[in-house]
Amino acid sequence: MKLITTYYLIFIFLCAGYSSRSQDTLKSYFDEGKALEDAGALTDAYIFYERIAFEANDPLLVNMALMSKAAVLKRKGEYLKAQRSLERLNYAVLNDSMHFHARYETALCAYLSANYYDAISQFEQLNFYLHDSNLIIQTIPLQVLVYNEIQNWKHAKELLLIYKSNTRLSVAESLATDELISFYNKKHIPKLKKVKTAQWMSAFLPGAGQIYAGNIGEGLLNFTFTFASLGIAGIAFYYKYFFTGYFAGLALFQKFYFGSNKRVEYLVNKRNYLNTRAFNDEVKKQLIIILNK
């Protein structure tokens, strides 16, 4: 009997090293991660959370770790990594409110990392999987920002109207929302210029494309140079300097005429970008004021 006891004791000692890390220990890791965050060691903190996600067996715990990691990455301004972290969540084990929170955060990180269509995909999945309209309504301000960025201002305005009619707003909030909706009018919504139109205009009247793109001075200068080179060619031909007229005058004309085609494309794109930015930034500013009221 003594011998058996002894062998049991030895067996217990030998096996002690193989005990695995318990799930309770993993839970306590969150406190450690939080402490690292508080100490400002953000990289160590998100690595810590990833470790929990890596070691945990409980999918809920994995999700919690990935969400904590994403929050730290967001705090660090690494939005794309935060988005990728949230895309690894297991939605099957999340309740509706967590599901909403996870998708909203993913969409927000996608918006912040300029992956607008990824953000839209998250909104569409929210609409598909969750049927709680109160939750969906909360995503509208973010949706407005995303649709603004992809220049679908019509849909952004429709969303704002839905937001206003389905949300209990204070008088001040309601007035500010009305003001924002009224901002989506023909006067303010950027009128996107078309590159093709500008190029056609420049083809018929040199410099007109630049003026259409909003660069009046450059358009007038291009008009002057193009016709001056044509004038040089004309004068040269008149005085029977045929080669000079053809090669010097017309070559210059050709350079100014066709060169402006590329230039006009750049100017139109630049103008569209600046106009879009100005409008979207203003909406963002007003939206933040409404949400902070």
Partner 1 sequence: MSWFFLVIFGFLFSQISFAQNELDSNSHEEMAFINHWISIEEYSDAIYLIDHYKKENLPLFLRDSLNYLKGWSYYHLKELDSSLTYLDQVSPASAMYHKSSFFSAFNESYLGRPSRGLDKLSNSFCDSSYFSLRNFEMSGMHLLERDTISFLALAKDFNASHYQFAKEEKNLMEYYQQLNEFKDKSMFVAGMLSAIMPGSGKVYAGRLGDGISSFLITSSIAFVALENIRKDGLIDPKSIFFTGLFGVFYVGNIWGSVFSVQMQREEFNNEINHNILFDLHIPLRRIFF
Share in percent of the chain as helix, strand, coil (round to 5): 80, 0, 20
Q: Which of 279, 111, 114 is nearest to 192 (CA)?
A: 279
Find the shortest distance in angstroms from Cβ 221 to partner 1: 24
H/E run at residue 243: helix 242-243
For residues 46 to 85, the per-residue mask of contacts with partner 1, x marking binding by CB under 8 A and - elsewhere, is -x--xx--xx-------------------------x--x-
Considering only the stretches 2-10, 97-105, 163-171, 205-213, report the one whose residues sit in contact with partner 1 under the rule CB under 8 A. 2-10
Query: Number of C-alpha atoms within 13 angstroms, CB side, residue 278?
Result: 11
- Nearest in space to 31 (alpha carbons), one of 47, 48, 43: 48
* Residue 64 CB, nearest approach to partner 1 (Å): 17
Among the listed residues 16, 31, 171, 204, the single contact to partner 1 using CB under 8 A = 16
Q: Which of 258, 195, 201, 268 is nearest to 226 (CA)?
A: 258
Comparing CB distances to partner 1, the nearer of 204 and 238 is 238
Candidate list 43, 90, 224, 254; residue touching partner 1; CB under 8 A: 43
Tokens (6 digits) for 237:
């031909």
Residues 241-260 that bind partner 1 (CB under 8 A): 241-244, 246-248, 251
Start-end of H helices in 113-240? 116-129, 133-138, 140-149, 153-166, 171-183, 195-204, 208-212, 216-238
235 interacts with partner 1 by CB under 8 A? no
CA–CA separation, 99 and 95 (whole Å): 6
Binding mask 166-195 for partner 1 (x = CB under 8 A): ------------------------------
Looking at beta carbons only, is 51 or 155 nearer to partner 1?
Answer: 51
For the bound state, the minimum distance from the C-beta of residue 255 to partner 1, rounded and expressed in Å, comes to 12
Q: Work out the angle between the directed axes of helices 116-129 and 96-112 (0-180°, nearest 10).
A: 170
**Residue 17 or residue 40: which is nearer to partner 1 going by CB?**
17
Could you tell me the sign of the dihedral formed by the alpha carbons of 251, 253, 258, 261, in that order?
positive
What does the binding site for partner 1 look like in residue numbers (CB under 8 A)? Answer: 2-3, 6, 9-10, 13-14, 16-18, 43, 47, 50-51, 54-55, 81, 84, 88, 240-244, 246-248, 251
